A and B are shown apart, each in its own frame.
Chain A
Amino acid sequence: MASLFTALGTAGNSLDAIEQAIGVVQNNVTNATTPGYVTQTLQLGARPFDPSANLWGGVEVTGVQDSRDVYAEQSVWSANEQSGYSSQQSASLNQLQQIFNVSGQSGIPGALSNLYSAFSAWSTSPSNATEQQAVITAAQGLSTAVTQTYAQAQQINSDTQQQLSASVSQLNQYTSQIATINGEIRTSPTGDAGLQAQLYNTIEQVSNLAPVTVNIESDGTATVLLDGQSPLVQGTTQNNVSVNYVQPGSGNNSGPSPTVQLLSSDGQDITALANQGTIGGAINFCNSVIPGVLGVTKPTPTGLNGLANGIATVVNNLLTAGQVSAGPPPVAGVPLFSAQGSTPGSSFSVVASMTGSQLAAISPGPPAVANGVAQALAGLATPTNAASMVNGFSLTEFYGNIASSVGQQASTASDDVSSNTSLLNQAQSLRAQVSGVSLNDQATKLLQFQESYQASAQMISTINTMTQSLLTVMQQVT
């Protein structure tokens, strides 16, 4: 009789355990598409069974197992960091390359060609006022083309800086969320799948912004470090990062544009650590790509500043060595272009007081040639001596090198976006296979538990019938 009641109790307990298991399946199915959620499995264990020792077995719940694979998560984060970096680079470079005309018919190369043509037409008739004015107009066209391109590059730089600021404040928001989740993890039962899902989903968002290293502590909280070094979140403490712009000419910025510094909450320069993610991509664009495009005038002329300075130097040198009139007394030539300061790309202009009649066409020789300078200026299109070149290149080639360098970087960034996106997809797919919710698995489990539940219920019903029979027999005996 005692064993019958024990069997009845054991069967009842098993119904409890199976109900819990069905609860876990239900939670898995409903969270199948929740970001960060991984399959939970209820651990069932057999109780000790030894009838001789009056141990009647049964089933018990030993815990909930989490299918999360930290290596799969890490490979997703790492792919996400690279994908964020190349996406940001590609977006900014794609905007930047639009300002570089490569047809040769407009923009800076078109304006250069127009100026060469105006010089050439003027050289056939150096005293013709119409041709002289055409040279001045073409020169103004060139200065406008250069300063416009320069201003557009600066505008794209400032747009990227704004995106960077937005990314940094998003990073701070996410790390603050992680600190809050850490606090909740400390006070909640271990292994709360919902909190875990929130935590890992937020870390994944962070990894798109910057390179992070995550350590899961013994209390289940996540410590998040920027590139393994600068702490962003420790327990419930969050460290904000901020952006600082070092203006040209101040600090150690000798470049043409503001450089970006990423500062930790205690003011340390952690720029070098942010080498991935959208923040890394934006920093690289502002600190490396844009200064390369804007360029410097010395020691080696580069970028648009080098170009503006180069045009002014080459053209002005020829004009000032020439004569406006052979005299007597001879009237020396005057400069056509003004390219002042360390960023001539932004101030490049035609000298305000310059008029067509002040253009020096005469090369004094000997022998003097009435259109010698004008011809030399027209010849700048295909220069043959170093004095007519900038850093060994014709003016058009110098421009072409800037455009081609931007194009190369844009092309590489675009290829990187494709390959990094597919790497990220692979990593995500792998993670989903390892720890994602498989509806087929859950359906199978549901069927199994349903069967078990029915069987256990049948057991209770059968034992109940047996107990009833025994009681009837007992009544008849008495």
Chain B
Amino acid sequence: MLAGLDAYTSTFLSNLNATENRINQANEQLSSGYRVNQPSDDPGAIDAILDYQGQIEQVTQTQSNLSQATTVSNLADSALTSANNLLNELTSIAAQGSNSTSSAANNSALGQQVQGIEQQLVSLANTTFGGTYVFGGDDATTQPYTFDWSVPGGVVQNNKSSNTIAISNSDGDSLVIPGQTAQQIFAAQNSDGSPAAGNIFQNVWALGQALQNNNQAGIQAANTSMQASIAQLGQATTISGNTLNWLQQSTDSATSKLTTLQGQLSNLRDADAAQAATNLSSAETAQQAAVAARGTMNIKSLFSYFG
């Protein structure tokens, strides 16, 4: 054991080691951009970091869900707009057919037109997106209606499921998308299952039949009930508009929530680059100074001065 001259070698080495650790830490912070790279960097912050990161993933997924729902709802909304145009067309056909000057042959031709429109309405009720039926409700893989002019109402219903599939936004609300099923929009029923006054398929079919049979009383009645159908479709359009509004608000809210969460996570996890760079530079200077000083240290004892 050597005393006096060099007793502090081990202290020097451990201090040098500590300085090197500071350099490594500052380097790691700068290269990863994170203040917390491993659990021991800040054990108390881990729960919060994982929580924020989890919430960010969740909101990101919600954004993706909302975006898909918006696509579907836009498709549904444009189907309703098309249906509305067709109903307006039907109103004018009904007006022509109820004109006393219209001949039976003319009415029959109008009836054919109505049949074509009914077929188009059925197509709209069967609108698809990515292999599923937009108005199919819970059973989205079964086509809601098949066109069949020979049966009352002109359609066969294949899918009676309701729609319970709601999507959630990042504020904890949820909404069924799209708002209504094909039956609710195009074939409204009374509680006993009979066609409701606004039943579009039924009313269009009745109009078509009356025109084809040149049944003036029937044409008059169908003309009146077309108004109920237009009102029915108006309600559906309103619901669709509300749905699109909700989706827009939810998307905005998710975006702002994501920004907030990313800020909070960054505060907690990210390195202060300027501070880390300063730390790195000061630790490097300290290390160089210590090594240089040690290197030039002229350790001598009395023996060095012996002749």
Contact = CB atoms under 8 A, between A and B. Distances in A.
Interface string B20-44: 0000000000000010111111111
Given A121-B65, A438-B3, A439-B4, A400 B46 contact: yes
Given A105-B53, A120-B61, A418 B3 contact: no
B39 A102 contact: yes
Contacts of B302: 439-440, 443-444
Contacts of A97: 38-40
B1 A102 contact: no
B4 A440 contact: yes
A443 B40 contact: no
Given A396-B50, A403-B46, A404-B46, A116 B1 contact: no
B132 interface: yes
Contact of B50 (A38, A94, A104, A368): A104
Interface stretch (A340-348, A369-377, A461-469): A369-377
Interface stretch (B83-91, B118-126, B160-168, B283-291): B160-168
A85 interface: no
Contacts of A64: none
A422 B10 CA distance: 9
B38 A126 contact: no
Interface string A444-467: 100000000000000000000000
Most chain B beta-carbon contacts within 10 A, residue among A98, A105, A124, A405: A124
B165 A400 contact: no
A280 interface: no
Contacts of A39: 3
Contact of A102 (B3, B46, B65): B46
A439 B54 contact: no
Nearest to A38: B1
A437 B1 contact: yes
Interface string B138-166: 11110000000000000000000101111
B49 interface: yes
A114 B44 CA distance: 24
A103 B40 contact: no
A120 B1 contact: no
A258 to B, nearest CB: 25
Interface string A404-445: 111110110010001001101110110111011111111110
Contacts of B58: 113, 116-117, 120, 381-382
A165 interface: no
Chain A interface helix/strand/loop/mixed: helix
B303 A439 contact: yes
Interface residues of B, number: 60
B18 interface: yes
Contacts of A432: 1-4, 7
A33 interface: yes
B62 interface: yes
Interface size class of A (residues with CB under 8 A): 35 or more
A374 B58 CA distance: 14
A124 B1 contact: no
Contacts of A372: 164
A189 interface: no
B4 A433 contact: yes
A269 interface: no
B298 interface: no
Given A35-B1, A127-B132, A443-B306, A408 B57 contact: no
B14 interface: yes
A329 interface: no
B40 A411 contact: yes
Contact of A109 (B7, B36, B50, B161): B50
A137 to B, nearest CB: 15
A37 B1 contact: yes
A62 interface: no
Given A425-B10, A439-B302, A443-B303, A407 B3 contact: no
A42 interface: no
A358 interface: no
A418 B2 contact: no
A125 interface: yes
10 contacts: A120-B61, A127-B139, A381-B55, A403-B50, A407-B39, A414-B40, A425-B11, A436-B1, A438-B3, A439-B303
Given A104-B54, A418-B14, A418-B18, 20 more contacts: A32-B2, A35-B1, A37-B1, A102-B46, A103-B49, A109-B54, A116-B61, A120-B58, A120-B168, A123-B65, A124-B68, A370-B165, A403-B39, A404-B39, A410-B40, A411-B41, A414-B40, A428-B10, A436-B2, A439-B302
